[in-house]
Amino acid sequence: MYLKKIAGLLLFLGASQFLIFMLIAEVLYGNYSISENTISDLGVGPHSAVIFNASIIILGMFIIFAAIIFHPIHKMKLFSFLLVLTGIGAMGVGIFNENLRPLHEIFAAMTFIFGGISEIWSSRLIRFPLSVCVIVLGSLTLIFIILFASEIYLGLGRGGTERMAVYPIILWGAGFGSYLMASDQRWLIQESDPQSL
């Protein structure tokens, strides 16, 4: 019971602090355009780098800790593995800024891909209608990261398109974390051999 709530708290705090400090970093960057600048640009700005990089490293750490703490409850190995990879990706983005290619791109791709899949997979652990919401969020992440990689920006600009992949992950982290903190035994798990999933 308490482990689930702690895991939820970590996800909520990780997502919330990242959103707040990302907005602060955008202000400190100077002449920052959410349409033209990518989020990773904040990691090399003279006034924004420390805040942004520290925040996304904390986000990654919290995701990893949450995955480890939550695993004994649901015992879905694949879901825990996906969360850990998402957390490692987020930490890597903060440790290796966009000037350190190709490591930065590798870790960013890990965050987007495994984060999007984690969002969708989490629908197996929660009730309707939130289960549908997380599937939509995960799908948005995966669709927009494909568009971003294909340089199809739909009029949103490079930065705007990337944000359409990132924001669903942040919303999912806060929402799923809140669900875990608030629920008792009302969340769903697969009864048939969950350890094989």
Q: Give a yes or no: residue 62 inside a domain.
A: yes
Place of tokens 């969002």: 119
pLDDT of res. 112: 96
Percent of the chain surpassing pLDDT 70: 92
Cβ atoms 181, 189 nearer than 8 A: no
Q: Which of 11, 20, 145, 27 is nearest to 65 (CA)?
A: 11
Mean pLDDT of the chain: 90
- Under the banding of pLDDT at 50, 70 and 90, the label for residue 113 is very high
In angstroms, rounded to a whole number, what is the distance separating the alpha carbons of residues 82 and 126? Answer: 17
Number of separate domains in the chain: 1
pLDDT digits (tens, 9 = 90+) for 177-189: 999 988 665 444 4
Residue 15 has what pLDDT? 97
- Token pair recorded at residue 184: 């008792």
pLDDT tens figures, 18-39: 999 999 999 999 899 999 999 9
What is the rounded CA–CA span in Å between residue 42 and residue 65? 25
Amino acid at 50: V
pTM over the 0.75 mark: yes
- Report the C-alpha gap between 10 and 191 in whole angstroms: 26
Domain that holds residue 161: 2-185
